[in-house]
Structure 1
């Protein structure tokens, strides 16, 4: 019956679903019952091994129980044979003593097994309160201080700047407060990362800029420091993701404020947008079309279009 229940509740593995089991299995209740049974087994084994050790240590060889069995064996042998065979009963006496010794060893091993099983069950019960999200947040999501990230982005090596750009992109995507801190702490550093020769650093930095520009208040400061030149220059890169983020950032600026639209026209910004149209995919072309539509409401842009 126990084996049947075990096979019924045991999990199975499939290539698509992974490890699956019966949904009615209650792991906490099962482990609690298992722990109680381990404690009961531990107590019973302690009592039995204590009795065996008392019998072995309090009486010299042979044990009284074994001596009584030896006498009964010798009497029975004397009745059934004409000449009693003392060797058979002596072997039986030795076997009785060895059985008592091995019984003590067996109970000692069971005690060790119960201690190990109880420790594992208690450990599992303790771990049941954790969830995968808690472990990921504790061990994998480890954000650094913004000042440290900015210092690394300013003077670090190529790999360190790449990691710093990734950290900035992650911070910018997580909360609006982080966006203001990034802009206040080092917008120029973020722009310099976007112009870094390393392609991956460019991508992460451009993603961080696009995330920051979702806030209209940051757009004015970004345009004031000449950031639009950086975005239009990034339209010439060969990294498709960087171009995508740059186009997205430009669309944020031109759609949220009429005052910032002239910044796109500076330094041949329209030429850069036209260049991006030649190599953009369908989704990027939709964004570029919306950018040109927003710029068409600006008179200077229409004049450039006609000329």
Structure 2
């Protein structure tokens, strides 16, 4: 199938590769290396990315879901230097490279040049074979002048077969012709035909030479068995035997040469397991590009299996990777963080990294200007907090919350989703939840995440705010911007899961005398509560009814239509009872309401219903996890993936 490869470093080129779904990613890389060699940029380092995921050389094409006519991105590994040189190389062979060391490792280029030499040899052999065909045509015609003139018939047949079915090949253009798919059949058949004709030629030459020698050609008189024709026959078939042997040998070499496909040698090098000690040596003491390549290889090795992960850790790989993530080269940082992400899938390695203080390094990367580095660092931190309750405290220590807040405000949509999930995981811990509520910066970052256009990010942020509200309702009520976001939510999305979370947080605003007034003054309060009530979720309907109850202390607004809708379309009995009781209060006289001047909102609710039927505000969640529409950490992991 055909795959298109784009690279921003070559804006006027789209590379085309021909591969099979069962080929490895290394095959695409190998073909691209050949193309880059033709334009004089074999030193250009790159990675392949498809749908936001970097491709591993050892994995199959089909494992990434790459199909016919897919577009794969070629991402330069050196963004600051190589890309500039690549742009200039389009117009000129002169390059500018201020980086240290060669572009690719010497052994990678050695594999490339080895393939090129083999393809040049194949092209040369086919050119020589084509030249031999002219000589075969001449000898076929001269066969009519020999004693065994009838050999012309089979020699002419073999000549026609060779002419029509011979493959054409050039190193740059590849195979050309209608019968190139029969190249193995041609090489084998042509070799056998040449050997068979050579056998006949040797027989004819032997018989002719025997007759000439027996005659003796006395006094050089060419008569009888020593006739000119008989002598010519002996010499002719002797020469032709050598010619046919040469053709057969070339056919044999071609059979071996045809086995080599573009990328065989390069793929063999790229997917083989390198010596971990040599990789570590390059990572510690190598030049810039050697460190970059070493970081990439460590990421590839870590992704290939758990055994390699433990081998890397045993060679002090965590310390090496933590040093590489602080490199000035962004590509090296990316590969190193990606390698850490792969290693952190093992819980024991997570504990080791935390003990080494690696969480501080990962938190520092959340301030990176590179979106990819920030995202990878966030994923690594999420792996730590989601797998271990003990390691959560290491994440929030030493300005960790501030680092997370910065990523929540500056990260991409994928990074924000990850950060929202990290805050949710941290909020499951009661001590950390209390720490978060004692500061305003994390709450502000959660509010910013609620503005995201990504439903998952909004859901995780609202779940976190619900947990924080259980811990400290005053902190939530102090966030005036959040109130507007909650009320505008039904106007921007149709996600009923978000409605439930927003409704439960609105209840905290309604229970507070000051924020309740702000709630009622909002222009869209009626419309928002109406849309909340129109869902078929009984919990949300009861939340809306309770919000309306809480407003009775502040102002008796005309929200009877909302309650009427809930009563007429109640999802369960409790929702119907609450809506009906609310309508009775709204339709009652002022004197009846004045009989309850000293009762709080919760006390009034308890008079209208049995205590525990809907519960107090603390029924919105337990001490550790949100209730209702909230998701567990396992549900989050599925959503994030």
Q: Is 1:287 aligned to 2:418, yes or no?
A: yes
The 8 Å contact of residues 228 and 250 in structure 1, kept in 2 or not, is answered as yes
Alignment of 1:32-181 (within 5 A): 32-54=188-210, 58-60=216-218, 61-65=220-224, 96=228, 100-101=231-232, 103=233, 106-126=236-256, 135-136=265-266, 138-181=268-311
What is the CA distance between 1:166 and its match in structure 2? 2.0
Equivalent of 2:315, from 185, 210, 232? 185
- With over 3 angstroms needed to count, the CA separation of the structure-2 counterparts of 1:212 and 1:109, relative to structure 1, is farther
Whether 2:369 is the aligned partner of 1:221: answer no
Partners of 2:183 and 2:392 lie apart in 1 by 61
The answer on whether the counterparts of 1:11 and 1:22 sit within 8 Å (CA) in structure 2 is no
What whole-Å deviation, never above 9, does each CA across 1:64-98 have from its counterpart, x for those lacking one? 14988xxxxxxxxxxxxxxxxxxxxxxxxxxx56x
Alpha-carbon distance change, 233 to 133 in structure 1, aligned in 2, over 3 angstroms: same
Q: Please say if 1:235 is aligned against 2:382.
A: no
- Please name the residue that 1:89 is paired with: none
Q: Distance in 2 between matches of 1:161 and 1:218?
A: 23
Shift of residue 44 of structure 1? 1.1
Give the total of aligned pairs.
Answer: 272
Structure-2 separation of matches of 1:266 and 1:48 = 95
- Displacement of 1:59 in angstroms is 1.8
Distance 1:218 1:54, change over 3 A: same
Residues 152 and 160 in structure 1, CA contact (< 8 A), matched pair in contact too: yes
Q: Deviations over 1:105-131 (max 9, x none)?
A: 643453334223322433455567778
TM-score (norm 1): 0.73
Contact 1:149-1:167 within 8 A present in 2 as well: yes
Question: Quick check: 236-245 or 170-179, which moved more?
Answer: 236-245
Aligned equivalents of 1:8, 1:126: Cα separation in 2: 18
Cα gap change, 1:22 to 1:273, in 2 (>3 Å): farther
Q: Which residue of 1 aligns with 2:339?
A: 208
Shift of the alpha carbon at 1:136? 4.9
Aligned-residue CA RMSD (Å): 3.7
Contact 1:9 1:21 in 2 (8 A): no
Conserved 8 A contact 1:149-1:168: yes
Deviations 1:207-249, CA, capped at 9 Å, x for gaps: 1111101122211111111111111111222223222221221
Task: Mark the runs of 5 or more structure 1 residues left unpaired by the alignment.
Answer: 13-17, 69-95
2:221 match: secondary structure: coil
Separation in structure 2 between the aligned mates of residue 185 and residue 172 of structure 1, nearest angstrom: 13
Please list every run of 5 or more consecutive structure 2 residues that lacks an aligned counterpart in the other structure. Answer: 1-156, 170-174, 440-641
Distance 1:158 1:55, change over 3 A: same
Partner secondary structure for residue 237 of structure 1: coil
Equivalent residue, structure 1, for 2:547: none
Change (3 A) 1:154 1:140: closer
The CA distance in 2 between the partners of 1:6 and 1:201, in whole Å, is: 54
- On the 8 A contact 1:38/1:118 being kept in 2, the answer is yes
Alpha-carbon distance change, 215 to 22 in structure 1, aligned in 2, over 3 angstroms: farther
Contact (CA 8 Å) 2:212, 2:226: kept in 1 or not? Answer: no
- Equivalent position to 2:326, from 162, 182, 195: 195
Q: If each structure's helix is expressed as a fraction of its own residues, which one has the higher value?
A: 1
Shift in alpha-carbon separation, 1:149–1:8, aligned structure 2, 3 A: closer
Find the counterpart in structure 2 of residue 77 from structure 1: none
